[in-house]
C-alpha cells in the first residue's frame, strides 16, 4: 500500500465497516494500529493534526526504563519499560541508539548510592541489557565531560540507556501499520461518536480537514488514544464525564554541542526541586531538559514557561563551566504528559500522579487508554487490542509485535541524520541520482536536502510545511531560526509536489512563522 492521504481516503470511502477504529496518531495510537493490523483486524486510525504533532514529538528523546521511577520504587514499570526498550532496539535499530550517560558525583555517599541503583537497573534489563554501569574517577569524568565543574568533584558513574528520534519512529509506525493492512489518516478530526439503540458505540463521524468532506463510519471497537485530549473524546461519549487526565508540562531547550560535547550525555539526578535533568547530544545539538510542571489547561502547541527556561539554565550553570545563557538557545519546546489524575492527595504535585498507563472501558463500550510513556508504546498497544477483542467479541488473534520489524528496519549505520531513514535512505539517494537539483541543501548550515522534501511528500504523508520541518526532519526543534530561513524553499517544492498554488505557499509561510515564534526565545 502506498502511504499517501489519497490512498487512505480511498480506503475509507470503499469500506463501510471496521473492526477497530483508533482516535489519535501519537505513540499510543500508532502502537495500537500496528498491533491490530498485524493481527489481521480491519483497522483505521484517525489523527486530528499530523502524526506525533503533540506530546509524542516533544519528548526528551530517551528510550529508557526510567531511573527516576526506580528511585521512586516503581519497580513494575521499570521492568516493563526495560524489556520494551530492548524490543525497540531489536525492531527499530535505525531510529534507536545506545547512549552513554555520566552522573557526576560530589560526595562518596551519592557515588555509591547511584552505582548500586544503576547496577540494579542493569540487572533488571536481563538479556536485553545494552551496557554495563561502572565507577568513574574524577579524571574519567573530566575526559568525558570536559565542561563539568570540578570543585568538589569526586568522580561519577557511567551507565547506558537508549536514545531515539521520537517523531521519526512515529512516522515509521504509521507506515508499518499501513504495510500490515491498516488505513492511517492524518488531519482527520473526529466530530461525534455514534451509538446503536442500546447506547453502545458503533462508529463515529469525522471531517477530513484538508478537503472539508465529512465521513461516517461503523466500527466494532472504538479506541480513544488521544493523550492529553482523552477527556475531550470521552465527553463526546458522555456529557457527564469528569476529567481523567492532569497534564504535566516537560520543557526543553536546545543549545550548541560545544557546551557539553557530542558523545556522552549528562544526567543530573537531584536538581534543586528534587527531579532529574538531562543534557543529551541529539542530531548534532544538545538537548537540556526536562521539567515537570503541573498544569490545569492544555493546548496542542504549549510553550515553555519562563520559570522552566530559567530553571534549566540555572541547573546547567550549577554543573557546567561556561554554561549557556538565553542568547545561546537555538530552540525551545515543551510536551504535555497525559498523566492519570490523582483521586486524592496533593493534586498540584506530579509526584502523586501515576506514570503507568490506564485502560478504561466506558459503559458504551468505548475503550480509552491514558498515561504511559513512549518506551512502552508496544506493550500498551498489545494490552489495548486484547481488551478490544474481548469487548467487541472479535475473533481472537495473538499479538505479533514483539518480533515485528518497524518500517525502515536496517542494521546499516549512516552518518548524521541520514541514519533515521534506515532502509528508505537508498530511495532518497535514488531521487538525487535521478535529479541532481534535489541534492541542494535546504539551509547552508544543515545537511538536509531537497530530496527529503520530495520523499516526504510522496511517502510520508506531509500536508503542511510544519509537518516536514518539525517532524519528518527535526530542524524546528534543533534551530528554530534556521528552520524559518529554510521554509520558503520547502514550501515552494511542497507546492509543486502536492499540486498547490501560490496562495497556499503564502498561507503556509504565515502559519509557520507564527509557529516558529513559539519555539524561539
Measured between alpha carbons, how far is 176 from 364 in angstroms, rounded to an integer?
A: 30
| Residue 35 belongs to a domain | yes
List the one residue out of 449, 455, 490 whose CA is nearest residue 469.
Answer: 490
What is the extent of the structural domain holding 236? 5-56+168-242+349-392
376 and 335 inside one domain: no
Q: Are 55 and 337 in contact (CB under 8 A)?
A: yes
* Confidence (pLDDT) at 344: 45
| Residue 133 belongs to a domain | yes
235 and 293 inside one domain: no
List the one residue out of 280, 284, 275 whose CA is nearest residue 252.
Answer: 280
* Confidence (pLDDT) at 261: 92
Residue 498 CB neighbours (<10 A)? 14
pTM above 0.85, yes or no: yes
Measured between alpha carbons, how far is 341 from 347 in angstroms, rounded to an integer?
A: 8
φ/ψ of 199, rounded to 5, equals: 65, 30
Given a cut of 70, is residue 135 above it in pLDDT? yes
pLDDT digits (tens, 9 = 90+) for 27-37: 999 999 999 99
295 and 326 inside one domain: yes
Measured between alpha carbons, how far is 377 from 174 in angstroms, rounded to an integer?
A: 13
pLDDT digits (tens, 9 = 90+) for 253-284: 999 999 999 999 999 988 877 778 999 999 99
Measured between alpha carbons, how far is 331 from 328 in angstroms, rounded to an integer?
A: 9
Please report which confidence band the pLDDT of residue 7 belongs to, taking 50, 70 and 90 as the band edges: very high
Q: What is the DSSP letter of 422?
A: G
Task: Give the cell for residue 236.
Answer: 463526546
Given a cut of 50, is residue 361 above it in pLDDT? yes
* Confidence (pLDDT) at 85: 97
CA torsion through residues 514, 497, 439, 164, sign = positive
CA 287 and chain centroid, separation: 15
| Residue 69 belongs to a domain | no
Measured between alpha carbons, how far is 471 from 53 in angstroms, rounded to an integer?
A: 8
Of 122 and 343, the structure prediction assigns the larger pLDDT to 122
Q: What CATH number is given to the structural domain containing 358?
A: 3.50.50.60
Residue ending a domain, choose from 274, 305, 340: 340
CA angle 25, 28, 33 (to 5 degrees): 65
List the one residue out of 478, 374, 393, 385 whose CA is nearest residue 166.
Answer: 374
Residue ending a domain, choose from 275, 310, 340: 340
Given a cut of 90, is residue 340 above it in pLDDT? no
Q: What is the mean pLDDT of residues 195-223?
A: 98
377 and 429 inside one domain: no
* Confidence (pLDDT) at 339: 78
232 and 251 inside one domain: no
Q: What CATH number is given to the structural domain containing 501?
A: 1.10.8
| Residue 34 belongs to a domain | yes
| Residue 386 belongs to a domain | yes
| Residue 177 belongs to a domain | yes
Please report which confidence band the pLDDT of residue 355 belongs to, taking 50, 70 and 90 as the band edges: low
232 and 377 inside one domain: yes
In which element (H, E) is residue 414 found?
none
Mean of per-residue pLDDT scores for the chain: 94
Given a cut of 50, is residue 248 above it in pLDDT? yes
318 and 385 inside one domain: no
Establish whether the linkage from the previous residue to 64 is cis, with ω within 30° of 0.
no
261 and 147 inside one domain: yes
366 and 507 inside one domain: no
* Confidence (pLDDT) at 272: 79
- Of 47-51, 138-142, 271-275, 335-339, the least confident: 271-275
Determine whether 299 is exposed, middle or buried from the number of CB atoms within 10 Å of its CB (0-12, 13-18, 19+).
exposed
330 and 457 inside one domain: no
Q: Are 161 and 63 in contact (CB under 8 A)?
A: yes
Determine whether 344 is exposed, middle or buried from the number of CB atoms within 10 Å of its CB (0-12, 13-18, 19+).
exposed
258 and 148 inside one domain: yes
Residue 442 CB neighbours (<10 A)? 25
pLDDT digits (tens, 9 = 90+) for 442-485: 999 999 999 999 999 999 999 999 999 999 999 999 999 999 99
Q: What CATH number is given to the structural domain containing 320?
A: 3.30.9.10
Given a cut of 90, is residue 74 above it in pLDDT? no
List the one residue out of 8, 424, 332, 27 whose CA is nearest residue 185.
Answer: 8
Alpha-carbon distances of 327 from 68, 324, 330, 331, 345, rounded to whole Å = 31, 8, 8, 11, 40
Specify the number of domains making up the chain: 3
157 and 198 inside one domain: no
Determine whether 60 is exposed, middle or buried from the number of CB atoms within 10 Å of its CB (0-12, 13-18, 19+).
buried
Please report which confidence band the pLDDT of residue 342 belongs to, taking 50, 70 and 90 as the band edges: low
Q: What is the mean pLDDT of residues 476-499?
A: 98
| Residue 471 belongs to a domain | yes
| Residue 408 belongs to a domain | no
Amino acid at each position: 500500500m502506498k502511504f499517501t492521504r489519497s490512498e487512505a481516503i480511498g480506503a475509507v470511502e470503499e469500506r463501510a465497516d471496521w473492526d477497530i477504529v483508533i482516535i489519535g496518531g501519537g505513540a499510543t495510537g500508532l502502537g495500537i494500529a500496528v498491533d491490530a493490523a498485524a493481527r489481521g483486524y480491519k483497522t483505521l486510525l484517525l489523527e486530528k493534526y499530523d502524526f506525533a504533532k503533540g506530546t509524542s514529538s516533544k519528548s526528551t528523546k530517551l528510550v529508557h526504563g526510567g531511573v527516576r521511577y526506580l528511585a521512586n520504587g516503581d519497580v513494575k514499570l521499570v521492568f516493563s519499560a526495560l524489556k520494551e526498550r530492548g524490543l525497540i532496539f531489536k525492531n527499530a535499530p535505525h531510529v534507536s541508539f545506545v547512549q552513554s550517560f555520566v552522573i557526576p558525583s560530589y560526595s562518596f555517599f551519592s557515588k555509591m548510592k547511584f552505582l548500586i541503583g544503576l547496577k540494579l537497573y542493569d540487572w533488571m534489563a536481563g538479556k536485553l541489557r545494552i551496557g554495563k554501569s561502572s565507577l568513574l574517577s574524577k579524571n574519567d569524568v573530566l575526559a568525558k565531560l570536559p565542561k563539568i565543574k570540578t570543585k568538589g568533584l569526586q568522580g561519577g558513574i557511567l551507565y547506558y540507556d537508549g536514545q531515539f528520534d521520537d517523531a521519526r519512529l512515529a512516522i515509521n509506525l504509521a507506515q508499518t501499520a499501513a504495510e500490515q493492512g491498516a488505513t492511517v489518516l492524518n488531519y482527520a478530526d473526529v466530530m461525534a461518536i455514534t451509538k446503536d439503540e442500546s447506547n453502545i458505540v458503533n462508529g463515529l463521524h469525522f471531517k477530513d480537514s484538508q478537503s472539508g468532506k465529512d465521513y461516517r463510519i461503523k466500527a466494532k471497537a472504538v479506541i480513544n488514544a488521544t493523550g492529553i485530549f482523552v477527556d475531550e473524546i470521552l465527553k463526546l461519549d458522555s456529557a457527564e464525564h469528569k476529567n481523567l487526565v492532569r497534564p504535566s508540562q516537560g520543557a526543553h531547550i536546545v543549545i550548541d554541542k560545544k557546551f557539553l560535547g557530542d558523545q556522552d550525555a549528562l544526567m543530573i539526578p537531584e536538581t534543586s526541586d528534587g527531579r532529574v535533568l538531562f543534557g543529551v547530544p541529539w542530531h548534532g545539538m544538545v538537548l537540556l531538559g526536562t521539567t515537570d510542571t503541573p498544569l490545569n489547561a492544555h493546548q496542542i502547541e504549549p510553550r515553555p514557561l519562563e520559570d522552566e527556561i530559567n530553571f534549566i539554565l540555572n541547573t546547567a550553570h550549577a554543573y557546567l563551566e561556561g554554561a549557556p545563557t538565553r542568547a545561546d538557545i537555538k530552540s525551545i519546546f515543551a510536551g504535555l504528559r497525559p498523566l492519570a489524575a490523582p483521586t486524592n492527595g496533593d493534586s498540584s504535585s506530579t509526584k502523586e500522579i501515576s506514570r503507568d498507563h490506564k485502560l478504561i472501558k466506558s459503559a458504551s463500550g468505548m475503550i480509552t487508554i491514558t498515561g504511559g510513556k513512549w518506551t512502552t508504546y508496544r506493550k500498551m498497544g498489545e494490552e489495548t487490542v486484547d481488551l478490544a477483542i474481548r469487548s467487541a467479541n472479535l475473533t481472537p488473534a495473538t499479538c505479533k509485535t514483539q518480533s515485528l520489524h518497524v518500517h525502515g528496519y536496517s542494521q546499516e549505520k549512516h552518518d548524521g541524520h541520514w541514519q533515521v531513514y534506515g532502509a528508505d535512505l537508498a530511495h532518497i539517494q535514488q531521487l538525487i541520482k535521478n535529479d541532481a537539483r534535489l541534492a541542494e541543501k535546504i539551509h547552508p548550515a544543515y545537511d538536509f536536502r531537497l530530496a527529503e522534501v520530495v520523499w516526504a511528500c510522496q511517502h510520508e504523508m506531509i500536508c503542511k510545511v510544519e509537518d516536514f520541518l518539525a517532524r519528518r526532519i527535526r530542524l524546528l526543534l534543533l534551530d528554530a531560526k534556521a528552520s524559518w530561513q529554510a521554509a520558503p524553499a520547502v514550501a515552494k517544492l511542497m507546492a509543486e509536489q502536492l499540486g498547490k498554488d501560490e496562495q497556499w505557499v503564502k498561507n503556509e509561510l504565515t502559519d509557520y512563522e507564527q509557529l516558529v515564534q513559539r519555539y524561539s526565545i
